[in-house]
Amino acid sequence: MEIFTNINLGTRFDIETTMVEIPAGKIELRDDRIKQKWIVEIVPFLIAKFPVTQDVYFDITNELPSTFKGDKRPVETVTWKEAVNFCNLLSEKLGLKSCYAVMAENDEITFDRTANGFRLPTEAEWEYACKAGEIGIRYGELNNIAWYKDNSSMTSHIVGQKEPNSWGLYDMLGNVWEWCSDIYDETVYGSYRIFRGGGWADEERSVMATTRRRSHPMKFKIEDLGFRIARNQTEKTTNR
């Protein structure tokens, strides 16, 4: 199914046209490692229809880090820090307040949740947006919605070729994992950040809306890990 054909993926000049308004709600998160569940309230926010593609990443950073090259393939082989640097650069180019501050002396990064610029979604926002009101582990039949080990030919793919969820978001599962803003468990893993969604190399059991993984924000980069941008919803963004 070639859904991508008539989709405008955006550049830095029209990227806001690819942002989807997500309504308020709540989501139950779970951590199977520590056998805990918790509820997170979600305020309305914006999230991109697609993972950031390589042409958009190059337009903002002048870099081509991906292992599998292609303008409309998702950017991958990027660290969490590189993903938030992209968000800051995009915000600056569009005259918005950056969501992340990097301390040069120790590489510490702080997150301003109230800033109006672009950012990574929180993991609660990510799972809530992924499920799009569904209560199951996926928003559709896996082969129809995701590139994973059994159908990917072990490579990433142009975004938007699989079916979207009911909120119009593509590739939330499969293709590439997506970095989130959150620290996983600071008491055990320090600064490790969360990524979600499964990738082209993963078995079916890993490609679920509830799967949580984590790694080092400054060092870890692999060929099936990218990111998707989000932004706070304000009166200006909802009435543009």
- Give domain limits for the chain: 3-238
What distances in angstroms separate CA 41 from CA 44, 124, 156, one per listed residue?
A: 10, 8, 33
Residues 6+ apart with CB under 8 A from 139: 130, 131, 132, 145, 165, 166, 172, 173, 209
SS3 168: coil
pLDDT band at 13 (very low <50, low <70, confident <90, very high): very low
pLDDT band at 237 (very low <50, low <70, confident <90, very high): low
Per-residue pLDDT for 236 more than 90?
Answer: no
Averaged pLDDT, 99-119: 88
Per-residue pLDDT for 47 more than 90?
Answer: yes
Tokens 């650069």 map to which residue? 89
This prediction has a pTM of 0.91
Residues 6+ apart with CB under 8 A from 117: 87, 88, 90, 91, 92, 94, 96, 97, 98, 99, 231
Averaged pLDDT, 38-64: 96
Per-residue pLDDT for 122 more than 80?
Answer: yes
Residues 100 and 90 sit within 8 Å (Cβ to Cβ): no
Q: What's the pLDDT score for residue 117?
A: 97
Strands of the chain, DSSP E: 19-22, 25-31, 36-42, 45-48, 100-102, 109-111, 118-119, 177-183, 193-196, 212-215, 225-227, 230-232
Q: Phi first, then psi: what are they for 192, rounded to 5°?
A: -55, 135
pLDDT-wise least confident of 46-60, 101-115, 151-165? 101-115
Per-residue pLDDT for 2 more than 70?
Answer: no
Averaged pLDDT, 165-188: 92
Per-residue pLDDT for 192 more than 60?
Answer: yes
| CATH homologous superfamily of 3-238 | paralog of FGE (formylglycine-generating enzyme) (3.90.1580.10)
